[in-house]
């Protein structure tokens, strides 16, 4: 460069997470003083391009550089640090380090929690948190994969325990879950116009404004009751939805209605749908009437049902829910080119199915639909915001600390994540992730796993890290 910028001092934090380009840039600056801070054992961003060799080769690239090792840990108790050291020692030691305890006082040994089934694990942890005297915001549940979070969040919600999720979308904010809950809300509270609009937004060609029109029409047909307006209307004239628009429009109402109904003559709707006054609506499209038919069939199928799980099962099996699953999974599998990644679509369908199954599991203890809806929906925003239990991926937990930590789903395949390892990851990186997770705990550490997943019909074996930590005897089975 003609006019190089001379830096007296350059300070780099989190040096272990720099990528090759960033390292080259730092090297090219050639400052008079370079001060890098990092922890070789906390390099966990290889998936994002981080190159652990940057910190690993620092003394070679800067001969004569001084290396200072910070060994005293002021966060965790001796038993937690001892466990962390036992595991991370299995990795290559570029910078020899054994953490020493910098705090005194009472300590609790890390606990191993083993459950028969995946969901049993989440529910048991939620019940344990319910009975603790520790403030919720001082508790963290840490997981390797976002898939673990749904069951935990739902179990906490069921017990009325507030939580905040970082590093993923809330289970209850997922479109497929919101759709099912909105269907149930309408059965409990037919006056909930927003729930109706959310449901009918999925009808092709029906936006929010038109869905609002349909809601007013159906409520009018039922003389104030939406369900009656859907199944057994007593009024058959369209309400004056926008009387200010054109006062003379009323002269042509009959012609509009006749023209509207005749558009659906070729559709196989059945007599009851064909006779329904909603078909008189001039803006009802073919897709709209077919969507309404599916909604009509669902409402009719659950009219006599009181049991939440029975109603939810029928919603999941309904054609219009399956159409929505198809739509959402296709959207989520669409590549930038516009093509559909079939493998991604299949995976998306599995995730949607798992969420539906989880919601169904949550409904089984309830005998009344209203109580289930109240537990899942009412107060939901309050339970997902503010001071609550922290639900975190390992990556999102980095740099944080909590009095009590649960590291969940410690099964081989999940943690370590063998799928990501096969795509360029490594057991060393997974071990560093485990090290980061357990060293978030200040006072109490719980490591948990399940033996089976009944939804996917899988059997699990424990994570090799539990053997390395000394919580399970012997050597980890070969995987």
User: Other C-beta atoms within 10 Å of 336: how many?
Assistant: 5
Take residue 223 and report the two structure tokens written for it.
Answer: 């003389």
- Which distant-in-sequence residues (6+ apart) come within 8 Å of 332 by Cβ? 344, 345, 348
Report d(CA 226, CA 194) in Å as an integer. Answer: 13
Report d(CA 120, CA 471) in Å as an integer. Answer: 21
pLDDT value for 386? 54
pLDDT value for 148? 85
Mean pLDDT by 10 residues, the chain (479 residues): 76 93 90 91 87 90 89 89 91 78 86 94 94 93 88 86 80 89 92 92 87 92 91 88 47 46 76 87 88 92 90 92 91 89 90 88 84 73 65 92 96 91 86 94 96 87 95 79
pLDDT value for 119? 87
The phi-psi region of residue 263 (left if phi > 0; otherwise alpha if psi is between -120 and 50; otherwise beta) is alpha
Report d(CA 209, CA 200) in Å as an integer. Answer: 10
- Which distant-in-sequence residues (6+ apart) come within 8 Å of 333 by Cβ? 340, 341, 342, 344, 345, 348
pLDDT value for 306? 86
Take residue 204 and report the two structure tokens written for it.
Answer: 């092709």
**What digits encode the pLDDT tens for the residues 79-93?**
999 999 899 988 887
Domains in the chain (CATH in brackets) are 9-68 (no CATH), 78-162+386-469 (3.40.50.300), 175-241+259-375 (1.10.486)
pLDDT value for 239? 85
With vertex at residue 129, the alpha carbon angle to CA 123 and CA 133, rounded to the nearest 5 degrees, is 160
Take residue 260 and report the two structure tokens written for it.
Answer: 């509207």
pLDDT value for 433? 94
């Amino acid at each position: 460069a003609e006019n190089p910028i001379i830096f007296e001092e350059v300070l780099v934090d989190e040096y272990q997470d720099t990528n090759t380009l960033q390292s080259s840039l730092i090297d090219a600056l050639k400052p008079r003083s370079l001060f890098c801070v990092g922890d070789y054992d906390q390099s966990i961003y290889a998936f994002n391009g981080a190159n652990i060799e940057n910190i690993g080769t620092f003394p070679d690239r800067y001969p004569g550089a001084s290396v200072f090792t910070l060994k005293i840990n002021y966060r965790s108790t001796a038993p937690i640090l001892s466990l962390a050291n036992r595991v991370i020692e299995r990795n290559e030691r570029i910078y020899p380090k054994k953490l020493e305890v910098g705090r005194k006082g009472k300590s609790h040994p890390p606990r191993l929690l083993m459950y028969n089934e995946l969901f049993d694990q989440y529910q048991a942890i939620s019940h344990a948190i319910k009975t603790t005297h520790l403030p919720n915001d001082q508790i963290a549940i840490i997981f390797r994969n976002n898939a673990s979070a749904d069951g935990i969040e739902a179990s906490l919600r069921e017990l009325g325990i507030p939580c905040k999720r970082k590093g993923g979308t809330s289970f209850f904010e997922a479109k497929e879950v919101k759709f099912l809950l909105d269907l149930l809300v309408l059965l409990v509270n037919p006056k909930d116009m927003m729930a109706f609009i959310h449901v009918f937004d999925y009808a092709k060609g029906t936006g929010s404004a038109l869905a609002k029109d349909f809601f007013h029409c159906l409520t009018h047909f039922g003389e104030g009751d939406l369900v009656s307006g859907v199944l057994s209307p007593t009024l058959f004239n369209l309400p004056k939805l926008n009387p200010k628009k054109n006062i003379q429009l009323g002269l042509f109402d009959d012609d509009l209605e006749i023209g509207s109904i005749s558009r659906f003559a070729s559709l196989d709707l059945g007599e009851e749908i064909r006779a329904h006054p909603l078909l008189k609506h001039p803006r009802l499209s073919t897709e709209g009437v077919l969507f309404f038919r599916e909604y009509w069939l669902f409402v009719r199928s659950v009219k006599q049902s009181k049991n939440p799980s029975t109603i939810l099962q029928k919603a999941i099996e309904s054609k219009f829910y399956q159409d929505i699953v198809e739509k959402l999974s296709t959207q989520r599998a669409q590549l930038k080119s516009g093509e559909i990644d079939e493998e991604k679509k299949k995976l998306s369908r599995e995730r949607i199915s798992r969420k539906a199954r989880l919601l169904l599991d949550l409904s089984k203890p309830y005998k009344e639909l209203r109580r289930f809806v109240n537990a899942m929906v009412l107060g939901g925003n309050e339970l997902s915001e503010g001071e609550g239990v922290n639900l975190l991926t390992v990556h999102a937990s980095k740099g944080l600390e909590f009095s009590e930590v649960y590291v969940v789903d410690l099964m081989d395949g999940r943690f370590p994540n063998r799928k990501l390892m096969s795509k360029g990851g490594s057991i060393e990186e997974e071990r560093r992730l485990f090290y980061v997770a357990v060293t978030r705990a200040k006072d109490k550490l719980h490591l948990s796993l399940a033996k089976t997943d009944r939804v996917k019909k899988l059997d699990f074996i424990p994570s090799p890290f539990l053997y390395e930590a000394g919580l399970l005897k012997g050597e980890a089975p070969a995987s």
